[in-house]
Structure 1
């Protein structure tokens, strides 16, 4: 679940960015006392994420607006399905419209792309997880969208766990030395993950005693070998170069998790509209 208070601060920034000193078109074209009812609808099949954020946008700009939500986050809707109704001052509605649509379209895009990837590995033991490759300022909301699409969150930030990568290993001199150094100050309930580029590192990481071993850009053959070696002693994550076309073959190697930035960085924009 996302932080409502942080979201409120973001909404203020979004509205200020789009509106500036005021919506000149709405002020010129609409009388100040004009009221109306507008309907937000999907224009294609999508997975909903952030519908309450869209509601917050309208009511942050004008608290007198009445917004009735008719769908839930995580729900699949189709072209023509109604998502929400907003009633009240027409100037306010058309002024806040683009900001509400922008964030909802972005979050639904992430949720929809995530669902495609989750569907591709259905029936396997693997679970899809996200990465920290998110839109600056939108990580909390995009990671919420991932869960709406059926995925799991990896680290929310650098303070959520220890992940030892190639640069850390190079600085420390070896993978084993890096793990030993991390363990000295590791909080007792914090997980430690190591990125492995080749099979020799997998053996070393297993001997060092880590919580998760990431198989980074490995071939399917090497992944299968690594999973056999590890044999359930720790969790295994596959990462690097994951696509919708390759993810099922990767899942079939027996890994526990598959992480990809595609669900946040390459999510195709979805089409949602607001009409009176």
Structure 2
């Protein structure tokens, strides 16, 4: 966990939610009232966000105590209690929604990722996330992918060169795009890997003739063409498949021999895991 990133996220989220005060709690709960609450699991899946919840509580109130029973990455089922917290009741309620919003989404992502990881078991293919994330929550969502057993692709536009179809079209072709990218790296002394997207076997051949890349993204290939592409590449470059890949066909894509499969659905259309924070009588 990068505490600097998560701390800034927590501060912004609390500012958005609390504003000038949690007036419901201030109006109804006597100052100094002590409370206890449990994180109750109401769904089946992979838990994620416990470490983040601990940091949220610490930012809200360093005196709130937490007793963790289930850690990130563990399987959970309805009725499980992930942790118990105890402290100032008002502050527990201030932290409640932020904890649930983050943990429900992170757990949903971890659960979906883990489902795919199990489908790929026995192959040499790993599942990648994408940049199709919720603005402001990318770090948390990619963290959840790792908790679920997946692999993070580039975090943003700054940590890898990924030449896609629009870059190729704007730069005047595949060879020119690759040459431009390599020239940029040399001119700026950046240490960046280069990946290029190809849409068919002809474009793949152009890349192979040019070289000077680290990874080839095979986009929207059918199974026959994908198997042929992997055979042609013959291990010279890392291969990645994307486009039109679902739970139902991902194993078939993996059986074509690619190194990675990127799945935007891990983060852009995942179902949150049902969790709640329930008060417990002292």
TM-score by length of 1: 0.95
Alpha-carbon distance in structure 1 between the residues aligned to 2:19 and 2:158:
35
Task: Give the drift of 1:82.
Answer: 1.7
The Cα shift of 1:119 comes to 1.3
Which runs of 4 or more aligned residues in structure 1 lie more than 6 Å from their structure 2 counterparts after TM superposition? none
Secondary structure class of the residue paired with 1:160: coil
Q: Does 1:259 align with 2:258?
A: no
Give the CA deviation at 1:108. 0.9
Q: Map residues 187-206 of structure 1 onto 2, 5 A cutoff.
A: 187=189, 189-206=191-208
Structure 2 stretches of 5 or more lacking a match? Answer: none
After TM superposition, list the pairs within 5 Å mapping 1:1-276 onto structure 2: 2-186=1-185, 187=189, 189-209=191-211, 210-275=213-278, 276=280
Distance 2:33 2:182 in 1: 64
* Residues 72-96 of structure 1, C-alpha deviations (whole Å, 9 max, x = no match): 2222122222211110111211222
Identify unmatched segments of 5+ residues in structure 1: none
CA RMSD of the aligned region, Å? 1.4
Q: How far is 1:25 from its partner?
A: 2.0
1:175-219, Cα deviation, whole Å (9 max, x unpaired): 112111211232574211110011101111122212111111111
Q: Cα deviations across residues 129-176 of structure 1 (Å, max 9, x unaligned)?
A: 011111101111111110000100110111111111112211222211
Aligned length: 275
Q: Aligned partners of 2:216 and 2:203: how far apart in 1?
A: 10
Q: Give me the whole-angstrom Cα distance separating, in 2, the residues matched to 1:51 and 1:93.
A: 15
Shift of 1:116: 1.2
8 Å CA contact 2:106–2:272 kept in 1: the answer is no
